[in-house]
Amino acid sequence: MKKCTSLCSQSNSVFRMLIMGSMNPGKIQRDAKVLIVGSGIAGISAALKLNVAGFKNVHILEATGRSGGRIKTGKMGMANWIHGPSEENPVFCLARQYGLLDPEALTPENQAMDVAGHPPWVPNFFTNNATRSLGFSVVSNILKVECCVNGTHSMDAVGLSGLSLYKTLPGLDCTFPKSVSVVEFNECTHTVTYNCPVRCIEWNNTEAQSTVKVECEDGTGMTADHVIVTVSLGYLKKHHSAMFSPPLPLHKLQSIQRQGFGTNNKIYVEFDSPWWDADCEVIYFLWEDEVNIPSSWIKKLFGFTVLKPTER
């Protein structure tokens, strides 16, 4: 079996993994030993899928003291969004499996609605006093929405070729009906070793069949038939040269180096009572002095979505 690498991704960047060795479940013995580096949503989902497929010798190595990775929810009474709730969305499938969704989100009609990544909001911007300046502010706000959707500071940084490859999932965006702190993945809790950062992965890029060696920061070592690496893109950019021996193939390195990522920050604001109309879904921000947007981060906000109160 050739020990090779492949870079896999699924929509919304839920899964991003480097696979050391051939991981076609139909051609691998179910007693094969599989190590997964990282206990974030990608690592947990990989373990769950392997478990369902009949693989029982699966173990996760996590550098920190908890699972979840960048998903860490605090109890603030706020709702948690699921964008594109449909069968193709693994987050939606997990939430449905654990009974976390409102019945309306589970209907075939809701899952089949294709909004191309944008909720069907109908803005009511203009009044009888609409001006040219106001019109420019509306156009600017639309660009801010696109920046948020694409996770970028400016649409100038988004490549047209990559934009055309982005896949939006059908389904009208939904929220959890109540605050959710942690989803317990009981099937995987016994397979995780915490506080065990990986230093180096020694793999074989030849046709010869061999095991993959994983060295941890504390000096311990493990071997496996296959290793799935689910660390973040930013971590790969910084540590790939030291993490893999021999180095990854050139086309893999180029993929890691060329890919970019942005940050979306969401601000949660709570009021004792609503001051907006009952049918209001979104409150958009329009600024008169749009030309000075870079001078203030708050002017990069496109607005607030109105959420239903969650259970206390």
CA distance 144 to 138: 10
State phi, psi for 140 to the nearest 5 degrees: -60, -40
Phi-psi region of 67 (alpha: psi -120 to 50; beta: other; left: phi over 0): beta
Would you kindly state where each structural domain of the chain is located, as residue ranges? 5-70+182-258, 120-167+267-306
| CATH superfamily of this structure's domain 5-70+182-258 | FAD/NAD(P)-binding domain (3.50.50.60)
Q: Is 142 helix (H, G, I), strand (E, B) or coil?
A: helix
Q: Answer yes or no: are the C-beta atoms of 44 and 188 closer than 8 Å.
A: yes
pLDDT digits 0-9 by tens, 44-75:
889 988 988 999 899 999 999 988 888 776 66
pLDDT digits 0-9 by tens, 113-147:
876 656 555 566 555 566 777 788 888 888 888 88
pLDDT of residue 101: 86
* Residue from 228, 197, 201, 160 nearest 8 by CA: 228
Mean pLDDT across the stretch 188-206?
84
Tokens of 312: 């206390």
In this prediction the pTM is: 0.70
